[in-house]
A and B are shown apart, each in its own frame.
Chain A
Amino acid sequence: MTATTSRAQRTRSLVLHLICIGVGALIVVPVWFGVIGGFKDNGQLSTNPLGLPDPWVPQNYTDLFASGVFWRQLGNSLLIAVSSTVIVVGAAAMAAFVFARYAFRGREFLVTLFAIGLMFPFAVAILPLFVLLRSMGLLDNPLGVILPQAAFGLPITIIILRQFFRTIPAEVEEAAVLDGCSSFGFFWRVLLPMARPALATVSVLAVVTSWNNFMLPLVVFSDQSWWTLPVGVQAFQGQYADDTARVLAYVVLSMIPALGFYAVAERQLIGGLTGSVKG
Chain B
Amino acid sequence: MTRPSTVSDTRRGDTATDPPAPGPGTTRQRGRQPRPGRGGVLAVFLAPALALFLLLVVAPILVAGYASLYKWNGFGLPENFVGLDNYTRAFSDPTFRGDLWRGLVLVLLSLAVQLPAALALAMLLNQPLRGRAAYRLIFFAPYVLSEVTTAVLFTLVFSPNRGLGESVSRWLGADAGAVFADPDTVLFAVFLVVSWKYFGLYMMLFLAARQGIPKELSEAAVTDGATAWQAFRHVTLPLLGPTIRISIFLSVIGTIQLFDMVWVLTGGGPIHTSETMAVTMYQYGFRRFEVGYASAISIVMFLLSLVFALFYQRIVLRRDTAGAITNQGGQR
Contacts and interface: CB of A to CB of B under 8 A. Distances in A.
B329 interface: yes
A66 interface: no
A178 B23 contact: yes
Given A182-B8, A258-B146, A279-B322, A27 B139 contact: yes
Interface size range of chain B in the complex: 35 or more
Given A119-B309, A127-B291, A95 B45 contact: yes
B172 to A, nearest CB: 14
Interface of B: 7-8, 10-14, 16, 21, 23, 25, 38-39, 41-42, 44-46, 48-50, 52-53, 55-61, 63-64, 67, 74, 121, 124-125, 127, 129-132, 135, 137-142, 144-149, 152-157, 159, 161-164, 196, 200-201, 204-205, 208-209, 212, 242-243, 246-247, 250, 253, 257, 259-260, 263-264, 278, 281-282, 285-286, 291, 294-295, 298-299, 301-302, 305-306, 309, 322-327, 329-330, 332
27 contacts: A16-B124, A19-B121, A34-B153, A45-B162, A103-B332, A111-B327, A116-B306, A117-B57, A119-B302, A120-B57, A124-B299, A127-B281, A154-B53, A170-B12, A185-B8, A229-B149, A233-B152, A237-B264, A244-B162, A248-B153, A262-B141, A266-B137, A277-B250, A277-B324, A278-B212, A278-B322, A278-B323
A125 interface: yes
A219 interface: yes
Interface string A88-119: 00111011011001111000001111111111
Interface string A245-270: 10110010011001101100010011
A215 to B, nearest CB: 6
B131 to A, nearest CB: 8
A120 B153 contact: no
A30 B141 CA distance: 13
A208 B144 CA distance: 7
A37 B201 CA distance: 27
B284 to A, nearest CB: 9
Contact of B64 (A50, A125, A177, A266): A125
A60 B48 CA distance: 45
Contacts of B42: 98, 102, 104
Interface in A131-160: 131-132, 147-148, 150-152, 154, 156, 158-160
